[in-house]
Amino acid sequence: MKNIFHKILFAYSKGCSSYVAQVICKNKKTLDIGCGFGSFLQYDPMNFTGIEINESAIEYCKKKGFSVLNASTEKIPVADASFERVVALQVIEHLTPDTAYAMIREAIRILKPEGELILSTEFPTNTFWDTFSHVKPYPPKSILKMLAKDELGLETFSKFKTLEAKEIYYSGKFHKNKIISLLSQIAANYLDIGKKNYTIILKKHVVTPEKI
């Protein structure tokens, strides 16, 4: 799994404000899980669709002309293999393990072969529990563990055999001072210091019978 922070820096130097929306999902049919008030959908309303359960957020998005479905993360009313990208940005930390597992399972169902699931979430820092609705932190190793073979047979969840970890990058604390903010991001990715969030890109592949 590659760290792609250098790509993030290059994209932002060219005026990019959202690497996920403007690079990874550019011109791709994308489902945004937990779209909120449409901050992600606004980048490409023609290709991006959101799901949300907050009625006020749904109403706001529809007034903006965004495509939004009233649906939970566990049962998404779209066809199998109908999206090239599925994103869940700052969502999984609000879910129990059972619900998080169901969300990833739904994402796999929805994705086309070679499609990508993009997850972002917070590390369990000293401010993580300051948000009332945070249920559980999911550091990268917890996600990767769901992709690896359970040699000892101790896991209660079945592994996601059709997903593989492709890329990852980290975010540090953002500051008003742009230089300090940049140094914070560099430290998070290359010095393993001050990691606040991470984004992981998981690719769906077809599993042949011999690999099952």
Question: Which residue has better confidence, 49 or 150?
Answer: 49
Tell me the C-alpha distance between 68 and 52, whole Å.
Answer: 7
The pLDDT tens digits of the residues spanning 22-44 come to 999 999 999 999 999 999 999 99
Is the pLDDT reported for residue 156 higher than 80? no
Q: Which domains does the chain have, with CATH numbers?
A: 2-211 (3.40.50.150)
Position 178 scores a pLDDT of 85
Position 147 scores a pLDDT of 87
Please compute the mean of the pLDDT values over residues 51-80 and round it to a whole number: 96
> Torsions phi, psi of 165, nearest 5?
-75, 125
User: pTM to 2 decimals?
Assistant: 0.92
